[in-house]
Structure 1
Amino acid sequence: MKHIWILLLLSASLLSHAQRHPDQPQSPTARPGPDSARLPGIDSLSEVVVTGASRPIRIRENPVSIVAIPTVAIDRTVSSNIIDVLVKNTPGLNAVKTGPNISKPFIRGLGYNRVLTLYDGLRQEGQQWGDEHGIEADAYNIDKAEVIKGPASLLYGSDALAGVVSLFPFLPSQKDSRLHGKLLSEYQHNNGLIGNGLRLYYAGPQWLWVARGSWRRARNYTNSIDGRVYNTGYSEKNLSFTTGRTFSNGYIHLNATLYDDLQGIPDGSRDSATRRFTMQTEEGAGDDLKHRPIVPDNMLNSYTLSPLHQHIQHYRLYTDQHYDLGSSSIDAFAGFQRNIRREYSHPTMPSQPGLHLRLNTLNYGLKWQAPPLSALEYTIGANGMLQDNKSIDATDHPIPDYNLADLGMYIFGKWKYQRMTLTGGLRYDMRWLRGDTLHRNFTGLSASAGITWPVTEKIHLKANIARGYRSPNLTELASNGLDPGAHITYLGNPDFLPEFTFQQDLGVLAYWDWLTASISLFSNSIQHYIYLQQLTGDNGAPLTDPQGNKTFKYQQSSAHLYGGEASLDIHPKGLFQWNNMLSFVRGLNTQGNLPLVPPFQWISTLGYECHIRKGLLSTLYPRAGFEYNAAQNRFFFLYQTETYTTSYNLINLSLEASFRCRPGHSFVCQFQVANLFDQAYQSNLSRLKYFEYYTSSPNGHLGIYNMGRNACIKMWLTF
């Protein structure tokens, strides 16, 4: 890694010599037109972020590797869920997928309970250990997002070991005391996705409110190898309401959300001769995995979900408050969440859930931003949660009931010395976990120290070291049963120790009127790293029951991950815009490669925004995209947990048209084609790749492939 740091410093030196206009202002203003929608990973050095800092801070002054994804980037990215939208706009962020609508965020090769998701500052708690469900958030209501890459347990505690995905729902900024809104509709042809969303809002000098609702429905997706992939459809509904009051010295917001998702549960069973998907109609000894009836075409093409599906509901009720106290301020929040997961896995008893979990979470937090001491700003805070998780009237119990209490206290400071900015802090966490037969207490110390230094007015160096902490979750400690939706029997270990990470980050940011670039390198060492390993039988084959459920056991060892990301945005004024993102990560432990590590990836887009002076059309924005994913030959091969994955390329095209409307209104129509040439491919981060029960097939393909060509039309009207 020492050679990598030297190369990075040399690249910074070369960039500084390439600077053309040293006399220009240090904080360039945002440019209108296409430049305002440049790739988020290489945002302006003046972009202000709030995630991972005790108070708003500019990216150029934040030593932590962080990416801001603005509204325009989210609007212009077509995907099935909000995590996939962010993945396409953030180097170093990936997703482990189980079909189009299920994506678990991974940051630099780490995910599940190591990546903390925040919704409007509230930590998302919804059985993050599970594979077969995604993030419970309305994709149509996310206005912007921020992604921290690296340990963030200093401010957020356990589960932010790898980083944070912070989602910000829409809040009105214009206080004109008038009713406004946004109506959105989209259709995706591959799986027939129909989506509609409506937002109404009002903001005056003192009061504001926002009401939102959305509905999305899709059938089974298709590709050129598998045809329609059975039981990958879904139906999702969302409702939310926000109200707030602004005072002379602060504000208070009250928020409520409802997420309701009916989601198919694919298992990948097929007829051996035709490779057509089959369906489970019997149970136990009466169910022969390799001799099930073939799914008829009318069911494959229907929007009606199979009786074997999951029902996920997530409720939030929370408040956030801010008060200015002269030269200091106080921020407080409190919230209640309820997550309900029901998995229906019994074809002969369709109303009997195989899994039924109810998780209640009470979140709380308080921080005091102290009066500045000369050039020193510091914040003292505490946050935590109380949890109660129960299994209700189910036939399978992969995890026992438990209660959890969590509390962490921290101090964080920022000191500006001449042109340098130094940040750092300490945090101490305590967690109490109680189950029927398990009683564990965990403590951990987190720390961070970083510096940003403007080499020139246009080039900034960033360096940060951090110690992160994560306590084992109950699944890793005490699981001992089948999760029917994941088709996995999990086995835990009650003696696991907490994970601790030590990460070093080094980055360069550079900005000119016509070019923006960034390089970020990291090295991450983890003590007591917990991972899943597949168990095999005496013949060396995966241990599988008659219904095709495999057995995985949690293991613990040391691990080391290293890699980096680079971004390049070329945008000559009035000409094209060429955005590039590259990312690479390598993960190792004592037994070889780590599981679920993404390969080298390059995403490139080329677009041009054409302004039309007369007529109905206001702007046209054609864009072409290219995505390259290298072969993953550094996989966790032990006991056949993973297999080799070939490389693949995807070509995407899009055209966006904005229409002239009366003042205060806008109408945008967008047409996109993803995977233009209908490339058949498998991602090493797709769980469906391993949904296979034969060792060979007539067409030479094993496992389920990703989505084929997908044409989409999306329209939104703001008023």
Structure 2
Amino acid sequence: MFTPIKFYFLIFFFALLVLPVYAQQGTIKGLVMADSVPVPAISVSISGSTIGTITDDQGYYLLEKTPIGNYTIIFSGIGYDQYRIPIKVEPNGTTVVNAFLQKKQSNLDEVVVTGISRGEALRKSPVPITVVNKSVIEQNINNNAIDVLSKTVPGVSSVSTGPNVSKPFIRGLGYNRVLTLYDGMRQEGQQWGDEHGIEIDPYGISRVEVIKGPASLTYGSDALAGVINFLPATPDFSKKPFAGDFTLDYHSNNRLIGSSLGLGYQHGDWTYLFRGSAKTAQSYTNKVDGPVYGTAFREYDLSGSVQVDRSWGNTKLGATLYDNLQEIPDGSRDSLTRKFTKQLLDDGDDIKNRPIVPDDKLRSYRINPLHQHVQYYRIYSVNTFRLGDDQVNLTFGGQRSVRREYNHPTQPEQAGLDVSLNTLTYEVKYAVHPIYGIESTFGVNGMYQTNRSGNATDFPIPDYNLFDIGAYFFAKRSIGKIDLSGGLRYDSRHLTWEDFYVGLNPSTDFDRHIKKPTDPDTELQFPAFSHRYQGISGSFGAAYNLTDRLVLKGNIARGYRSPNITEIGSNGLDPGAHIVYLGNRSFVPEFNLQEDFGILYYTKALDLGLELFNNDIQHYIYQSRLTDTNGNPIVIVPGNTTYQYQQSKARLYGMEWSVNLHPSQLPWLTWNNSMAYVVGLNKDQSLLNQYGKDAKYLPLIPPLHIRSTVKISAQKALGIFDSPYFKVEVDHNSAQNHFYAVDGAETATSDYTLINCGLGATIKKKDSKSTWLRVFLEAENLFNIAYQSHLNRLKYFEYYEQSPSGRYGIYNMGRNFSFKVILPL
């Protein structure tokens, strides 16, 4: 657990890493051209550092105060092949480097940084990786950081509990099987909860990289299904040392008001960044339910970093703060009018006789007394040291996640759930220069974690300590047109907790945690536990570049995941989820063996991608509703369902397919199409023998998803409007009839098709070519279709067997317009 002394020591240690080091400097300048014409807005950067700029309107660039040494300078821009030149910066001198770019034939040379030893081009990685850039993020309506991924990345979906709570799923797997990173460091919140979202500012992200498939080799447990790395935004310092942006965002459906201010300052080798964001929203609405009570939220985000770049490498010290007030929906209604009702009592509460929520409470920014309060703090340091042609990376971080859920209407100040998760993460990685053409990397990473309960009344998980460590080796080599890569990893995780007692608190009449039992009525809710989980994971794959435009990829990987705390030790009510969870201490780690095959093909007029996968999982862990010997659901806490975790074999297989057309004869037109399909099969033979086809499929498997977008972009400015565009999207989700139906855990979901559209432009200043404003107008669910996503948890928030309207559960958001403006500073 963090103490003030430990925390201050951590800050002092990180501060030592960023002390300035004296170094001589030089200047780099030059001209960038293509087809004998100067090219503006080309990114110019020095590999392995944050030093960079962009070319001006005449194609010129200037990099001042560059530390002396040998570097590789990189030129990149939309529509052009990346160009790399080795250079040497002399002390107090000027190095002239001109570049002549070629029009891009494909984007296979785009460099990614997630899941590999160093930055690597997509064409060389056998692992399926997808990149979402800043323009895509800006041009889509986003209530949270996960929204844009589920809309734009085939194979990625989300389990949602309202508009501000989304958990990422990759190819039918989620929770602790998908590892979330921020700026390359693993994010540790309370991932085990259904209604626990990702604590990341959606306005502060410039790029997202998604690995689909086991990434346990590099990251260890919790990356069984894949990795999502959110990379923070950096302003454009090309023309001035001070830069930034200001964003205003409004959504019509839930009247969301969002704003974000990002500022940056560069002085010599030093870069300082700051961002503050805020958003608030009322309950969202649809034409079936009207305003959905309990879905309003208010969120604040702060982040900042300082970085220094020198000839020896670079080091960054960063910090983030996240504060979210999120209402808790429970779906209770009046049986006749279907209007939402609210809880007023703890003891004696009758869910069928609650009062109807007044209209003014349904349309208010004020957060109601039953809500979650989530606070998340992070401080971290990322360091790169160049040792000749070798490279050492050190990453350290401290995180604290505090989650309180207030669910007692008679004592609204009393939290039902109050847990604090403290995590220290570490990684040491050594990338060796090529030896006989083999690039190799050795690494050690892991974390130390403690969870403690506060002044709560419900205790779904015990107070525990966790220590995790893993060591890995990764190597890659290019042989002609073939790029080979692979490696091995060993993990060890020790999880322990002491006896955890619960007894009555006479001052509140609710339960409380009792450290030393003295009352005979005290209950031992969590008997002491200690266990070590171990596993070996690995991967091997190849990318075969048949031509510059066609690449074949194949990869086989063995993943590892240690059971999480709820799967092992839970024994209580999670008030936000309205579920009593029961764990299983005998669980063993999950292991999977996944085969991937992909085809990537790019021409001037066509981008084509096909990815096939097969994933066999041993000891797959899932939830199953607890029933008695007669098959009736067991109710431990009235008004809440009871689930117990099970373990069996499972298999998932499917595909992702994309075809993007951008004909050179029609440069103003792009037509992007994608499809994702996954089947999840339960291989528990005893369950299949007992329940038959009801137990055939796994829970939370997304249906067939097809998306098609036509975009028209003007090729020249229209008055003050530069690069205006208009797009129309068709978003189709097929019916999901393959679901886990045992004990009514899931039900079938009907198909639905949504029409979305959007337009936007950059507004230039009258007297110059510089940007004054970027404007975006988006519309989702334009025709206000009433639908339920199969992965929407609110679909199952229903307390009646009969409904006058014939509709059950809560529906997804209706028509929503978004107006966003971004003002560069």
Smaller-chain TM-score range? over 0.9
Provide the C-alpha distance between the structure 1 equivalents of 2:114 and 2:802, rounded to a whole number of angstroms.
48
Q: Does residue 571 in structure 1 map to residue 694 in structure 2?
A: no
Q: Which SS does the other structure have where 1:372 is aligned?
A: strand
Mean CA deviation greater in 473-482 or 608-617: 608-617
Which is worse superposed, 525-534 or 542-551? 542-551
Q: Counterpart of 1:110?
A: 173
One-letter identity of the residue aligned with 1:598? P
Determine whether 1:381 maps to 2:443: yes
Q: Give 2:383's aligned residue.
A: 321
Aligned to 2:96: none
1:145 to 208, 223, 227: 208
Q: Which residue of 1 aligns with 2:675?
A: 582
* CA distance in 2 between partners of 1:612 and 1:322 (Å): 42
Distance 1:438 1:546 in 2: 25
The DSSP-based 3-state class of the residue aligned with 1:154 is helix
Q: 1:186 to 1:670 in 2, by over 3 A?
A: same
Partner Cα separation in structure 1 for residue 646 and residue 734 of structure 2: 28
**Is the 8 Å Cα contact of residues 96 and 104 (structure 1) preserved in structure 2?**
yes
TM-aligned CA deviation for residue 639 of structure 1: 1.0
Unaligned runs of 5+ in 2: 1-73, 81-104, 499-527, 689-695
* Cα distance per residue 1:310-342 (max 9 Å; x no partner): 000000000000011001010001000000000
Paired residues for 1:447-486 under 5 Å:
447-486=538-577
| 1:652/1:676 contact within 8 Å kept | yes
Report matched runs for 1:499-578 at 5 Å.
499-536=590-627, 540=631, 542-544=633-635, 547-573=638-664, 574-578=667-671
Q: Which has the higher contact order (CA 8 A, sep 6+)?
A: 1
SS in 1 for 2:567: helix
Task: Work out whether 1:232 is the aligned partner of 2:295.
Answer: yes
Tell me, yes or no, if the aligned pair for 1:176 and 1:204 is still in contact at 8 Å.
no
Cα deviation for residue 655 of structure 1 reads 1.0
Structure of higher CA gyration radius? 2
Return the alpha-carbon distance in structure 1 between the equivalents of residues 268 and 227 of structure 2.
33
2-side partners of 1:168 and 1:28: how far apart? 20
Match of 1:370, SS state, is strand
The residue type paired with residue 804 of structure 2 is P
Equivalent residues in 2 for 1:328-477, closer than 5 Å: 328-436=390-498, 437-477=528-568
User: 1: distance between equivalents of 2:109 and 2:567?
Assistant: 42
Q: What whole-Å deviation, never above 9, does each CA across 1:202-244 have from its counterpart, x for those lacking one? A: 1233000001000000000000100110010000000111101
Q: Tell which deviates more after alignment, 612-621 or 205-214.
A: 612-621
1:667 alignment partner AA: L
Q: In structure 2, what residue type is equivalent to 1:533?
A: S
Name the residue aligned to 2:581: 490
- In structure 2, distance between residues paired with 1:176 and 1:713: 29
Tell me, yes or no, if structure 1 residue 308 matches structure 2 residue 392.
no
Q: C-alpha distance in 1, partners of 2:456/2:430?
A: 45
AA aligned opposite 1:378? S
Which of 227, 243, 248 aligns to 2:311? It is 248
Assess if the C-alpha contact under 8 Å between 2:235 and 2:243 holds in 1.
no
SS at the partner of 1:155?
Answer: helix
> Judging changes above 3 Å, is the alpha-carbon distance between structure 1 residues 442 and 455 closer, same or farther for their aligned structure 2 residues?
same
Preserved contact between residue 188 and residue 713 of structure 1 (Cα < 8 Å): yes
CA distance in 2, matches of 1:88, 1:411: 35
> Displacement, 1:89?
1.4
C-alpha deviation, 1:544, in angstroms: 4.2
Query: Could you tell me which residue of structure 2 aligns to residue 600 of structure 1?
Result: 704
Over 3 Å counting, the alpha-carbon distance change for 1:176 and 1:658 in structure 2 is closer
Distance 1:537 1:193, change over 3 A: farther
Q: Distance in 1 between matches of 2:396 and 2:759?
A: 43
Q: Does 1:618 pair with 2:735?
A: no
Q: Distance in 1 between matches of 2:753 and 2:569?
A: 41
- In 2, the alpha carbon distance for the partners of 1:541 and 1:58 equals 55
Cα pair 1:289 1:547 within 8 Å, conserved: no
Match of 1:681 among 787, 793, 817: 787
2:146 counterpart SS class: helix
The residue type paired with residue 761 of structure 2 is A
Amino acid of the residue matched to residue 304 of structure 1? R
Could you tell me which runs of 5 or more consecutive residues in structure 1 were left unpaired when the two chains were aligned. 1-26, 34-41
Aligned equivalents of 2:164, 2:106: Cα separation in 1 = 28
Q: Which residue of 2 aligns with 1:714?
A: 820
Percent of pairs identical after alignment? 50
Distance in 1 separating the partners of 2:106 and 2:803: 47
CA distance in 2, matches of 1:612, 1:449: 47
Tell me: CA distance 1:537–1:295, structure 2 relative to 1, closer, same or farther (3 Å). Answer: farther
Opposite residue 605 of structure 1, the aligned amino acid is T
8 Å Cα contact 2:235/2:245 also seen in 1: no
Q: CA RMSD in A?
A: 1.6
Tell me by how many angstroms 1:29 deviates. Answer: 7.5
The alpha-carbon deviation at position 138 of structure 1 amounts to: 0.4
Residue identity in the other structure for 2:258: G
Contact 1:175 1:205 in 2 (8 A): no
Letter in 1 for 2:726: P
Corresponding residue SS for 1:477: helix
Aligned-residue offset at 1:77? 1.1
SS in structure 1 opposite 2:436? coil
Structure 1 residues 546 and 245, CA gap change in structure 2 (3 angstroms): closer
* Aligned CA distance change for structure 1 residues 29 and 338 (closer, same or farther; 3 Å): closer
Q: Report if aligned partners of 1:28, 1:46 keep a CA contact under 8 Å in 2.
A: no
Counterpart Cα distance in 2 of 1:543 and 1:184: 50
Find the counterpart in structure 2 of residue 136 from structure 1: 199
d(CA) in 2 for partners of 1:578, 1:305: 42
The corresponding residue for 1:164 is 227
The structural deviation recorded for 1:546 is 6.6
Please give the alpha-carbon distance, in whole angstroms, between the structure 1 residues aligned to 2:818 and 2:670. 23
Query: What's the counterpart of residue 640 of structure 1?
Result: 744
Superposed displacement of residue 43, structure 1: 7.7
How far does the alpha carbon of each residue in 1:688-716 deviate from its partner, in whole angstroms, 9 at most, with x for none? 00000111200000000000000110110
Distance in 1 separating the partners of 2:636 and 2:187: 33
Deviation of the 1:666 alpha carbon: 3.8
Please state how far the C-alpha of 1:173 moved relative to its aligned partner: 6.2
CA distance in 1, matches of 2:335, 2:737: 28
More off after superposition, 365-374 vs 702-711: 365-374
Asked if 1 retains the 8 angstrom alpha-carbon contact of 2:314 and 2:384, the reply is yes
- SS of 1:88 mapped into structure 2: helix
Could you tell me how far apart the structure 2 residues matched to 1:570 and 1:260 are?
42
Shift of 1:44: 1.4
Name the TM-score, length of structure 1 as normaliser.
Answer: 0.93
- Report the residue type matching 1:326 in the other structure: G
Match of 1:221 in 2: 284
Alignment equivalent of 1:656, drawn from 760, 771, 779 = 760
Q: How many residues align?
A: 684
Compute the displacement of 1:174 (Å).
Answer: 3.6
Match of 2:797 among 691, 700, 706: 691
Separation in structure 1 between the aligned mates of residue 606 and residue 138 of structure 2, nearest angstrom: 23
CA distance in 2, matches of 1:31, 1:171: 18
Question: Distance between the aligned counterparts of 1:126 and 1:555, measured in 2?
Answer: 24
1:61-100 pair list within 5 angstroms: 61-100=124-163
Give 1:480's aligned amino acid.
N
Change over 3 Å in CA distance of 1:28–1:634 after alignment to 2: farther
Q: Which secondary structure state, in structure 2, belongs to the residue aligned with residue 85 of structure 1?
A: helix
Q: Is contact 2:235–2:263 with CA below 8 Å preserved after alignment?
A: no
